[in-house]
Chains A and B, each alone.
Chain A
Amino acid sequence: MIHELKVSQDQRRTFVIAPNQSMSGRELMLVFSGIAGVTLAIGGYFWLQGFTLVLPFSGLEVLALGAALYITAWRGGAREVITITDDSISVETGRSRPEQRHDFQRYWTKVVLRRPWVAWYPSKLLLCSHGREIEVGRFLNEEERKGLAKILRSAIHQYA
């Protein structure tokens, strides 16, 4: 999902790019705890009855479920903040706080939508300048990525 923050007084434009996520990490944790609790309780009961080989499978399954939910939640927490000022473009990536920052000179920055060499892979949206390139909008779907490319081109072009 792409959100544009209100244009500031100095005409700075900021775009926040985030994956669509319909549940918070805490809520997912509660769901996971509930499912894991029931599954491990069943496995534990059979263990106590002497049928010890149910619990290892329950454990493996709970691990797989936990990993799957963790991966989806982790992916959902990613943020990219693209700020366009009069003469620069900055891209901050991170989760709850910026972890990496890349700065480009606005005039020289190209917005490149690179199509994949195999059709079923997603395209890549790149900001390139002076031999450097950074990918943005990795977690967007295809149409959103195309939309973001259009928005960035127009925003960069608008005041350049």
Chain B
Amino acid sequence: MSYAETHEHHHDDHDHKPTGLGRWLFSTNHKDIGTMYLVFALIMFFIGGAMAMVVRAELFQPGMQYVDPQFFNAMTTMHALVMIFGVIMPAGVGLANWMVPMMIGAPDMALPRMNNMSFWILPFAFTMLLATFFMEGGAPAGGWTMYPPLITQLGDGFPFLIFTVHFLGVSSIMGAINIIATIFNMRAPGMGFMQLPLFVWTWIITAFLLIASMPVLAGAVTMLLTDKYFGTSFFIAAGGGDPVMFQHIFWFFGHPEVYILILPAFGIVSQIIPTFSRKPLFGYESMVYATAAIAFLSFFVWAHHMFTVGMPLAGELFFMYATMSIAVPTGVKVFNWIATMWRGAMTFETPMLFALSFVFLFSIGGFSGLMLGITPADFQYHDTYFVVAHFHYVLVTGALFALMGGAYFWLPKWTGHMYDEKLGQLHFWLSVISVNVLFFPQHFLGLAGMPRRIPDYAVQFTEWNMISSVGGFVFGISQLLFVWVIIKCIREGKKADEQVWEGARGLEWTLPSPPPFHTFTIPPKVDEATAHS
């Protein structure tokens, strides 16, 4: 008997960490793919942010200053598409890729090659979308909701828009399938569903929402395509179709999409608050059920986006009450976050500051959402800047702030270095002040009657628009600081230990910082200390 260890080629590196471009191009490692998602989201954040800067520059004062109305509309449309599909969603998937396998004690995602593919579709799809700026007819300018017949009047960019949406959908679905397969099949021995960290739970539910809603979007945009090029009349009134039905179908996807964007943020905040309160999450089970209830209800509220389109009174009442009812599980979550902090030994590091501002500012967005959900009031607010203020409070101070908090929370784990706390706090305070200067005045503008999606406006809206634009520019520039903090943290900083944060609990905090290339090479044992942390 004898034994041997052979090398087909010599590799003395015991960690087996591939290098060079190939590492990223062909990577099947969940950490590498998670990093690529996060970097991609950050790049797209600045592209979408630059579009927002154009919008705010044009709206700084009444009259036409810098761009023509068509380009302005393209900016608002593309800003939304980039921020929703290119920033918030990929950043959430990036965090899931990094953290879910570590949190459940799995060595990697269940289908690593599909994971690679679902990422690499994204740069391809967004290159296609951004290329429409250089096509005859310009970039999509009919709003991210793509309502016909306006959107079908787009020039050569139209099929590219449709196929971009398809590619993004395919990428999202592959990601969702992978997350479901991973969480259902690869949990560490002893980790039952009610031991899962809440971030993992929110991702299970988000994946279900993606799977249920994405085919609806795919079908809707394909019908737009066939209406334009293949002679069908799904949404063409002259051919017997119904353009309003597109709005119903779109929002049947669109409202669950809102929760696809925000549920992972709930999960992140539910990890951060207990850590910096040094207490277990209050009401873990009720948090899980509340998340599931929000997701379930999200399929029955779509028409609150289109009350003014005309619908039977019974329909308006149904959608109004259904919308109101979402406030109940959301209230449970806000209550539980506050109860977690109650009498906790709280400290206010940057992730906690972002999480706290999330709770407060997301609640403002939630309350303005309730106002919009009241049908008669919505007739006043619809298509005004009040709506713009509402969804930016939900998506910027909600989803984006949670993602930034998550990035600060896990950066030491990913890089092995502590980030610069002073710069982190500076980034937070600049962001939180400027974002309120940016979006809060938009409530007043909307209530005063300023419509959304216009490049010019009546002079009485000037002051608040100026203030809003100044807030926007400061917020935009502040984000460069975020990039610097990340770069600095990757390159240098105090060495982070396994635990990183004193109050952190969970399997991911049992790994070294940074974790080895292959995580949990032996399935870890879950005990009370690591369960649902």
Contact = CB atoms under 8 A, between A and B. Distances in A.
Nearest to B3: A111
Contact of A51 (B6, B11, B234): B234
B184 A46 contact: no
A156 B107 CA distance: 28
B53 interface: no
Contact of B216 (A42, A64, A113, A143): A42
A123 B26 CA distance: 17
A38 interface: yes
Interface string B493-533: 00000000000000000000000001011110000000000
Contact of A35 (B11, B16, B208): B208
B186 A39 contact: no
Given A76-B185, A117-B8, A51 B13 contact: no
A143 B249 contact: no
Interface of A, secondary structure class, is helix
A78 interface: no
A115 B7 contact: yes
B180 to A, nearest CB: 7
A68 B1 contact: no
B6 to A, nearest CB: 5
A116 B11 CA distance: 8
A57 B218 contact: yes
A68 B18 contact: no
Contacts of A65: 177, 180, 211
B111 A120 contact: no
Given A53-B223, A58-B215, A72-B111, A115 B181 contact: no
A110 B2 contact: yes
B23 interface: yes
A102 interface: no
Nearest to B187: A22
Nearest to B166: A57
Interface string A41-72: 01100100111011111101100110011011
B521 A142 contact: yes
Contact of B27 (A57, A107, A120, A123): A120
B245 interface: yes
B219 interface: yes
Contacts of A50: 234
Interface in B299-321: none
Contacts of A28: 184-185
Nearest to A153: B3
B343 interface: no
Given A114-B7, A115-B8, A119-B17, A71 B184 contact: no
Given A46-B249, A57-B219, A107 B1 contact: yes
Contacts of B245: 49, 51
Nearest to A2: B522
A113 B14 CA distance: 13
A49 to B, nearest CB: 8
Most chain B beta-carbon contacts within 10 A, residue among A43, A142, A147, A156:
A142
B111 A68 contact: yes
A31 interface: yes
Interface in B163-185: 173-174, 177-178, 180-181, 184-185
A120 B26 contact: yes
Contact of A68 (B6, B13, B181, B187): B181
Interface in B6-64: 6-9, 11, 13, 16-19, 22-23, 26-29
Interface in A84-120: 106-120
A7 interface: no
A42 B18 contact: no
A50 B236 CA distance: 13
A125 B226 CA distance: 53
A74 B108 CA distance: 17
A33 interface: no
Interface in B220-249: 220, 222-223, 226, 234, 245, 249
A34 to B, nearest CB: 9
Given A23-B184, A53-B222, A120 B29 contact: yes
B1 to A, nearest CB: 4
A109 B6 CA distance: 15
B136 interface: no
Nearest to A152: B3
A141 B107 contact: yes
A22 B9 contact: no
A46 B212 CA distance: 13
B268 interface: no
A157 B220 CA distance: 65
Contact of B16 (A73, A107, A142): A142
Contacts of A160: 1
B189 interface: yes
A142 B523 contact: no
Given A54-B249, A107-B1, A35 B215 contact: no
A11 interface: no
Contacts of A142: 16, 518, 521
- 4 A-B pairs closest in CB distance: A143-B521, A54-B219, A57-B215, A117-B8
Given A68-B180, A115-B11, 19 more contacts: A1-B523, A20-B189, A22-B187, A46-B249, A51-B219, A55-B215, A60-B215, A68-B110, A68-B111, A72-B181, A110-B3, A112-B6, A114-B7, A120-B27, A123-B16, A141-B520, A142-B16, A142-B521, A143-B521
23 contacts: A22-B186, A23-B185, A28-B184, A35-B208, A35-B211, A39-B212, A42-B212, A51-B234, A51-B245, A53-B226, A57-B218, A110-B3, A111-B3, A112-B4, A112-B5, A114-B5, A115-B7, A115-B8, A119-B19, A120-B26, A142-B16, A144-B522, A147-B522
